[in-house]
Amino acid sequence: MPRARTPRLWLTRKYSYRVRDGYVEILGGYKLKIIGWDKRYDAYPSGDAKLILKDGKFILCISKHVPRPVKYVARGVLAIDINEKHIVFGNSHFEYRFETAVERALHYKQLAENLQKKYSLTRYNAWLRRRGVRDRIRYFHRRARNIVEDWAKKVSHKIASLAKQHLYAVAREDLTNLVDSLKKLPKEHRVSLLILSYRKLEQWIDWQCEKNGAPLIVVEPRGTSTTCPMCSSKLIENGYRRLRCLKCRFEADRDIVAVLNIERRALVQMWGALIP
């Protein structure tokens, strides 16, 4: 079904647009009144811009040249482990835990699917063409994506702020292989939401660390949840999501094991092999 994309216009710096006296002037003599803007970046010089028409309103997105904050010297590492249900971040001293947004987003994917199924029956084919139903389905899909994006934004903001406050570096696993293996699975909503969650989280963590001047360390993910963080032996299962080391008797939840291993690998990368 053909579908019009959001109309947009690229505007180069200096030549194609100008912001003056409460108006945006665009090449060709167009003048748009400014209703409001995000004042936080006023002090920085403007770059190229993009003009979008959305829901009957014009939005001018101006890129800003913001200098990169200097990275502070970290006195430890805050490690992040993510699974389908939880995101755990912490280190040998403390631990924070949040739910992922997968379940919440899935609810809207299911609403979209139910609607789609209902109106794809042959007797409803004429209905499917009706804009209202199509828009509703699209709205549900968009809502699901927005929930994941919002979650990734908020969680990564919390992580980076906490790291900055206590002068920790942030360590995350490289999730490329995990995302690749998820892509091979049957295309279910849950899988696609997980892929989106991992991608968005990586993207926002990296950005928030950059913005807050927090050093970021990306570690190799292999074996982070099967190796003993104390003696590097292989761990064995000991009940639901619980792991145990036969050699040194260390025992913990799978995600805590991962956090400790990520912390350790990051410390090695940051300070070399000479850690206590």
* Residue 239: CB minimum distance to Zn ion, A: 17
CA distance 253 to 249: 13
Strands 77-82 and 169-173: parallel
* Residue 253: CB minimum distance to Zn ion, A: 15
Among 11, 228, 252, 267, binds Zn ion (CB under 5 A): 228
Say how many residues touch Zn ion, by CB under 5 A: 8
* Residue 230: CB minimum distance to Zn ion, A: 4
Which is it for the CA torsion 114, 116, 117, 123, positive or negative? Answer: positive
CA distance 201 to 193: 12
Q: Which CB atom, from 120 or from 233, has the smaller least distance to Zn ion?
A: 233
Contact 54, 41 (CB under 8 A): no
CA distance 39 to 68: 19
Among 52, 61, 231, 236, binds Zn ion (CB under 5 A): 231
Stretch that binds Zn ion, among 36-44, 45-53, 139-147, 221-229 (CB under 5 A): 221-229
Q: Which CB atom, from 209 or from 228, has the smaller least distance to Zn ion?
A: 228
Footprint on residues 178-207 left by Zn ion (CB under 5 A): none
Footprint on residues 237-276 left by Zn ion (CB under 5 A): 245, 247-248, 250
Q: Which CB atom, from 26 or from 228, has the smaller least distance to Zn ion?
A: 228
* Residue 47: CB minimum distance to Zn ion, A: 53
Counting other chains too, the contacts that 108-112 makes at CB distance below 8 Å and 24 or more residues apart are 108/140, 108/141, 108/143, 108/144, 108/147, 109/140, 109/141, 109/144, 109/189, 109/193, 110/189, 111/140, 112/137, 112/140, 112/141, 112/144
Secondary structure class of 186 (helix, strand, coil): coil
CA distance 178 to 194: 10
Stretch that binds Zn ion, among 25-33, 67-75, 182-190, 225-233 (CB under 5 A): 225-233
Non-local (6+) Cβ contacts of 119 within 8 A are 127, 128, 133
Q: Which CB atom, from 96 or from 250, has the smaller least distance to Zn ion?
A: 250
* Residue 243: CB minimum distance to Zn ion, A: 10
* Residue 232: CB minimum distance to Zn ion, A: 7
- Residues interacting with Zn ion, by CB under 5 A? 228, 230-231, 233, 245, 247-248, 250
